Structure 1
Amino acid sequence: MPNSENINVTPQNIIYRVRVAVPVFLYDCFDYKVSAEQYAQADVGMRVAVSFGRQKLVAIITEKLAIDTPIDPRFQLKSVTEFLDDRAILNDKVLSLLTWAAHYYQFPIGEVMQTALPILLRQGKPYNLLARIWKVLDLNAEDKVKRSEKQQEAYKILKLHPQGTQENILNLSGIETATLKALEKKEIIICDLEPQNFKPEPVSLAQMPLTANEDQKKAIQTILKAQKKYQAFLLDGLTGSGKTEVYLQVMQEILKQGKQVLVLVPEIGLTPQTVSRFQSRFHCNIALLHSGLNDTKRLQAWQHSETGKASIILGTRSAIFTPMPHLGLIILDEEHDLSFKQQDGFRYHARDVALYRAHLENCPIILGSATPSIDSYFLAQQGKLTRLELNQRAGTAIMPKMHVIDLKISKKTAGLSEQLISEIGKRLEKKEQVLIFLNRRGYAPVLICESCGWQANCPHCDAHFTLHLKPYSHLHCHHCGTINRLPDACPACNQNTLKPIGMGTAKVEEALNELFPKYPVVRVDRDSISRVGSWQKIYDQIQKSEPTILLGTQMLAKGHHFPYVTLVAILDIDAGLLSVDFRATERTAQLIVQVAGRSGRGEKKGDVYLQTLRPDHPLLNILLDKNYRAFAKQTLADRKIAEMPPYRYAVLLRCESKSQDENQTFLTEMTQQLRLNSEENLIDIWGPIPAPMERKAGRYQAHVVLLSHDRAKMHFYIRQWWQYVLQQKPSQMKLTIDVDPQELS
């Protein structure tokens, strides 16, 4: 290699170039050559097509380099292949947010940039797409739709919005495109393509606000004092205390100013009821952003957000990266929910990213929950969040009464105690609704041979197969996805003595149908909610004041309003009390309180029955004798003594290969390097140790947990060390880094 002093840098070497973030697993940005005309056209935040190796990729311009910067003539730059946009589609604040997130979560900037783009834009498709808008043409067409409930419902909703409604919003409200086309054929409604030159819509009220109680008034007034500046609020309200009404009244003032509001919810299942609340209250454009939309509709919603046409942006986790030119408020509902943490790839936490975005946008942010995370309580203690309490249920509703059933002494039928069966029957006879919670889908978690003790275990994981009977009888591993047929006899002893042990939602559904044949049983889990709109249909059924048994998993626990449910039964939470994960008791407490909160939200008082083998567990005693806030206070005290998060900052390194010995050897060498190259006693290194599920999908997993009181210094050393680790990694080994991990699995 020639000496650097001999490099001939002359004016002829000067070229125009741009620096771009390429969607590959590399931590650098790359320079590409452009012409003088292209340089003038280029803007930071635009998409360009570039050749990278043998691939043609869509990249984002992150920097325009000064034209008088010389370049080493030994290196030949490739040229940008094509400019895909005529303007920046990611604004400066979003680019700053993405850059910060890539840096903080130790993930390649090019991959992180892709998170902010809809799939069609990642693929290099044109930006401009027109959305379909449906409007009422005939305002007196009730007789024309009286034979179809679907058409009646669609017509009713469209009449509420004379300016028209986007097709994707109607779809998410349970109205199918086929129904809209049927109405169009009858010349009752018409479809228009909206104009591309968007102008902000004036936002007006479709419905007057409810009368706020004293707690709600105080919260609303406190938040509104922070308009046009950054301040983070923790809205800590009991279940049913009217957090949504606080959101709506704060939103009303922000929307009046022509600002946009971003509302994040943890699950797609929460969007229909939330959209309904927003549509009932405001006349404005609402953009929906979540994985349930097809690619075209997601791009249209993203465009409405990016151009400012949408006043309210409602989405799940990744919507936090959506460009919004007039962002005035961020709301994170159910802020404690684990769904806000991305569990693979780019492992960001939407709550923490949202706090940083509010800081960048200089706007207020509300984190709302009936069971705030322990991390958020800690931030409130530090003064980084302003805590606002809602201590009474809205309207005339009162908190439900808790009852504990000791399964050690109770007689059971299919996991249901006799006492619980009796109480369910009483409620149904009174024409009330019952909710039964079991966080285990399928028919039974274990299939065992009564003759020899053989168990149906997944051959690829340290886990049992779950028995499913629908759509056909099969064994399913919920960890790696392996599906096997159900054996006719025991593979070990060939006896016909296979027996399902334990219970899943499908088995409990079967038992409930036998016990209460006169009443409908509605099961809500991942197996029953598979088609777009299916959750909306179930939700509509629940809203009818008819005796019904609701049975489901966590999907039923998250913020839903079921006004006719007066009895909630929690069948099995003991696993959460015995987990090795230090956050497990926090998750279990949140789950108990959230599920219990579905009871007694209407005019009738509610009851909660909790079945357990551990009625003397300290967690249950605190929750039953006091409340969740007392539990959170005790948990913070326990974690302070143990020096666990949030009192120390954590980073989790996951290692996966075909050999546990290989994992252990590699991680031992790497952690030794970290000890040698960081300040003494700065980072506490735990491990390497096998993961709680040591073998998954045929590969072995090991962990290293890094803890420190000084987050900034720890991140500084880990950033350098992580690059070294990736360079040393064997090709067949998979490594992931998880900053602020929420699970140790």
Structure 2
Amino acid sequence: MPVARILFPLPLPEPFDYAVPDGLDVQEGSYVAAPLGKYERLGVVLELLPDSAGEGRKLKDVGGVYPTPAMTAAMREFVQWAARYTVSHPGHVLGMALRSRGGLEPSPTETVYHLTGESPPRVTEARTKLIEAAEQLGAQTASTLAEAAGVSSGVVKGLAEAGVLRARSMQTDLPFDVPSPDLPGATLTDEQSEAADALKQAVSARGFSTFLIDGVTGSGKTEVYFEAIAESLRTDLEAQILVLLPEIALTQAILSRFEVRFGAKPAPWHSGLSDKERRRTWREVAHGRARIVIGARSALFLPFHKLKLIIIDEEHDGSYKQEDGVTYHARDMAVMRAKLE
């Protein structure tokens, strides 16, 4: 029976070993539930040890596996490196990577109703109003359609039984739109083009390198790194990009600039998000479906599936320093995260 070495997001000095029961699909990086003290706790499998590692030892069993892609080897190494660098317990750092544990579960679903194209066998004023609402709104929950039409939800049920409406399950956490690298960008000056070309060349090479874009406010630094983002999206169809910004700069205006340039809003990550929004972003990042993420310093610890580019806007800003809990500077952490990826 293989042995899983599991790290828990708790202030503990080391991981613990557990037996992997037959039939349980546990991989290195799997998010698992395992007994610790009186409770089952969430943890991450740092490594799998051979059967011989469990011989002569009375190990508890791994309780279950979450339906989430395994944490990458690079991310697991980053967690352990960050713990050594900041002189912190690895579990403390892991806790920073698990700030939205609801994201480990599949997206919640709700039942929505849409028109089938069939005509009702019996026409009433209430049914007519509801059909008109469904034509305007598309697939919606029964309560939404009924409220929009000003009728009772029983009308929805009646039309569904008559075959005029069809019910289906829909995820409540919708995926983020896929950005396009080929929408036209701003016209660059010669200086900006030279800087953008250097970044694009480095991105295409798919190696590790660092650059500093130096310029006064309004000099076009954002347009330059937009070109690097576009090149990364072209070079790798699964590439994920992280853009760090000071929390105060995470405004609707900057999100809109990304949407105009790439045709899709980036996935946000900052302290102002609701639990639902954080859950959605965390899940989509872990599954590799959030292609551009824009966030505050803590976004560095999101479980990216295929992180290919990190941009730190206003890297001199003091808000990149975390001075409580695990203390770190996001600029330094970003360099190492990129190197490990």
TM-score by length of 1: 0.36
Partner of 2:77: 96
Pairwise CA distance, 1:62? 0.9
1:301 matches 2:281: yes
Per the alignment, residue 250 of structure 2 pairs with 270
Structure 2 match to 1:239: 217
Structure 1 residues 242 and 300: alpha-carbon distance in aligned structure 2, compared to 1, 3 A threshold: same
How much has 1:311 moved relative to structure 2?
2.0
Aligned match for 1:77, one of 49, 59, 64: 59
Return closer, same or farther for 1:71/1:197 CA change in 2, 3 Å cut-off.
farther
Q: Whole-Å Cα distance in 1 between the matches of residues 86 and 27 of structure 2? A: 26
Deviation at 1:221, TM superposition (A): 1.1
Q: 1:84 to 1:268 in 2, by over 3 A?
A: farther
Q: Which of residues 84, 88, 94 in structure 2 aligns to 1:107?
A: 88
Alignment of 1:204-353 (within 5 A): 204-205=181-182, 208-227=184-203, 228-257=206-235, 258=237, 259-284=239-264, 286-353=266-333
Distance 1:93 1:270 in 2: 27
Partner of 1:234, secondary structure, is coil
Per the alignment, residue 24 of structure 1 pairs with 10
Q: Is the 8 A contact 1:205 1:283 kept in 2?
A: no
Deviation of 1:233 after TM superposition, in Å, equals: 0.4
Change (3 A) 1:303 1:119: closer
Q: CA RMSD in A?
A: 3.0
Q: Share of identical aligned residues, percent?
A: 35
Q: Hey, what's the Cα distance between the residues in 1 that align with 2:101 and 2:54?
A: 37
Q: Which residue pairs with 1:42 in the alignment?
A: 26
Q: Pick closer, same or farther for the CA change 1:22–1:307 going to 2, 3 Å.
A: closer
* Distance change in 2, residues 1:62/1:21 (3 Å): same
Cα pair distance change 1:131/1:314, threshold 3 Å: farther
1:534-613 alignment to 2 at 5 Å? none
Question: Once the 2 structures are TM-superposed, how far is the Cα of residue 78 of structure 1 from its aligned partner?
Answer: 2.5
CA distance in 2, matches of 1:230, 1:91: 18
* Aligned amino acid, residue 61 of structure 1: V
Distance 2:318 2:171 in 1: 37
SS of the counterpart of 2:294? Answer: strand
CA deviation string 1:143-166 (max 9, x = no partner): xxxxxxxxxxxxxxxxxxxxxxxx
CA distance in 2, matches of 1:233, 1:77: 48
Query: How far apart are 1:201 and its partner, in Å?
Result: 3.7
Q: CA deviation at 1:295?
A: 1.5
For residues 419-444 of structure 1, the C-alpha deviation after alignment (integer angstroms, 9 at most, x for no partner) is xxxxxxxxxxxxxxxxxxxxxxxxxx
- Higher relative contact order (Cα pairs below 8 Å, separated by 6+ residues): 2
CA–CA distance in structure 2, aligned partners of residues 43 and 72 of structure 1: 23
Whole-angstrom distance in 1 between the partners of 2:294 and 2:175: 19
The CA deviation at 1:282 is 1.2
More moved, 60-69 vs 49-58: 49-58
Alpha-carbon separation, structure 2, partners of 1:199 and 1:248: 19
Deviation readout 1:242-276 (Å, 9 max, x if unpaired): 11111222222222332222101111542422201
CA 67–297 in structure 1, closer or farther in 2 if over 3 Å, else same = same
Partners of 1:305 and 1:185 in 2: how far apart? 34
Whole-angstrom CA distance in 2 between matches of 1:199 and 1:311: 8
Assess, with a 3 A threshold, how the Cα gap between structure 1 residues 304 and 86 changes in structure 2: closer, same or farther.
closer
Cα distance change of structure 1 residues 310 and 323 upon mapping to structure 2, 3 Å threshold: same
- Deviation readout 1:612-644 (Å, 9 max, x if unpaired): xxxxxxxxxxxxxxxxxxxxxxxxxxxxxxxxx
Contact 2:32–2:42 at 8 Å: present in 1 too?
yes
1:479-558 equivalent positions in 2, closer than 5 A: none
The yes-or-no answer on 1:203 pairing with 2:184 is: no
Q: Tell me how far apart the structure 1 counterparts of residues 311 and 109 of structure 2 sit (CA, whole Å).
A: 26
Q: Give, in angstroms, the shift of residue 338 of structure 1.
A: 1.9
Q: In 2, distance between residues paired with 1:224 and 1:130?
A: 39
Residue segments in structure 1 that go unaligned for 5+ positions in a row: 1-14, 133-180, 187-191, 362-745
In structure 1, distance between residues paired with 2:241 and 2:340: 15
Q: Contact 2:28–2:45 (CA<8 Å) still a contact in 1?
A: yes
Change (3 A) 1:71 1:304: same
Q: Report the equivalent of 1:517.
A: none
Shift of 1:51: 2.4
More strand as a share of residues: 1
1:68 counterpart letter in structure 2: S
Structure with more helix by fraction:
2
- Quote the offset at 1:21 in angstroms: 0.5
Question: In 2, distance between residues paired with 1:225 and 1:43?
Answer: 36
SS in 2 for 1:62: strand
Contact 2:245/2:312 (<8 A) preserved? yes
Contact 1:265 1:271 in 2 (8 A): no
After superposition, give the CA deviation of every residue in 1:332-373 in whole Å (9 maximum; x if it has no partner): 001111211211111122111111121122xxxxxxxxxxxx
* Number of positions where the alignment pairs a residue of Structure 1 with one of Structure 2: 285
Task: Give, as a single letter, the amino acid of the residue that structure 1 aligns with 2:16.
Answer: F
User: Are positions 1:117 and 2:103 aligned together?
Assistant: no
The 2-side partners of 1:240 and 1:230 are apart by: 28
* Residue 128 (structure 1) shift: 0.9
Q: For 1:197 and 1:226, how far apart are their aligned partners in 2?
A: 33
Structure 2 CA distance, aligned partners of 1:197 and 1:31? 37
Is the contact between residue 100 and residue 282 of structure 2 (CA under 8 Å) also seen in structure 1? no
Distance in 1 between residues matched to 2:329 and 2:209, nearest whole Å? 19
- For 2:56 and 2:279, locate their aligned partners in 1 and report how far apart those are by CA, in whole Å: 41
Q: CA deviation at 1:200?
A: 8.9
Give the SS at the match of 1:328: strand
TM-score by length of 2: 0.74
SS of the aligned residue for 1:37 comes to coil
Distance 1:285 1:239 in 2: 24
Q: Quick one: which amino acid aligns to residue 118 of structure 1? A: R
Cα distance, 1:87 vs. partner?
A: 5.0
